């Protein structure tokens, strides 16, 4: 299973999602691979946002090795599932997909957390530190359910 996590800048939400999923995959002993990307190119080559790295370290997960890159059309061949953090990301991803079949591989991350009040992971970039903890909590639920959903 190859999973790509996608947001806008690839410095806040999707690297956090990748870090959480990577951690869970390791703990479950699964042979899955993960990566993350942004629909935008604003932060290509950068480390995750300091607030994102701090929120993750508060939960003993280190994402300092991750570097931002932009989503590319070939990702639709390289990955089995591409998970968008919000509806705008999903729309932009589907526009880039090489075919309708490829576009169907793109879904919303929070589809895996149907009981959560929010359907989209809010962009924490322009807010304070609390936003990053909220993102961590949401993504933890979605990633745990994703593993259950796929293993089933």
Structure tokens at 3: 């999973």
Q: Is 9 in the site for ligand 4NP (CB under 6 A)?
A: yes
**Which of 123, 142, 146, 147 is in the footprint of ligand 4NP by CB under 6 A?**
123
> How would you list the strands of the sheet with 33-38, edge to edge?
33-38, 2-7, 81-84, 106-108
Catalytic annotation present for 123: yes
Q: Is 19 in the site for ligand 4NP (CB under 6 A)?
A: no
Specify the DSSP class assigned to residue 60: T
Count of residues engaged in binding ligand 4NP, rule: CB under 6 A: 11
Question: Would you mind telling me the total number of residues written for the chain in this entry?
Answer: 152
Structure tokens at 6: 């996608």
- The residue range among 1-9, 24-32, 56-64, 71-79 that interacts with ligand 4NP, by the rule CB under 6 A, is 1-9
Residue 3 DSSP SS3: strand
What distance in Å separates the CA atoms of residue 59 and residue 143, rounded to the nearest whole number? Answer: 15
Q: Is 125 in the site for ligand 4NP (CB under 6 A)?
A: yes
Give me the least distance between CB of 10 and ligand 4NP, in Å please: 5
Residues with catalytic annotation?
7, 13, 123
């Amino acid at each position: 299973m190859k999973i790509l996590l996608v947001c806008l800048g690839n410095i806040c939400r999707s690297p956090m999602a990748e870090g959480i999923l990577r951690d869970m995959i390791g703990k479950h002993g699964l042979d899955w691979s993960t990566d993350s990307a942004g629909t935008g190119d604003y932060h290509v080559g950068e480390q995750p946002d300091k607030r994102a790295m701090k929120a993750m370290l508060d939960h003993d997960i280190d994402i300092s090795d991750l570097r931002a890159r932009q989503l590319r059309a070939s990702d639709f061949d390289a990955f089995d599932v591409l998970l968008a953090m919000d509806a705008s990301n999903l729309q932009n991803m589907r526009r880039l997909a090489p075919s309708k079949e490829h576009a169907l591989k793109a879904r919303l991350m929070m589809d895996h957390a149907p009981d959560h009040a929010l359907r989209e992971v809010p962009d924490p970039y322009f807010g304070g530190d609390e936003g990053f903890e909220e993102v961590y909590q949401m993504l933890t639920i979605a990633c745990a359910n994703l593993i259950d959903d796929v293993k089933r």
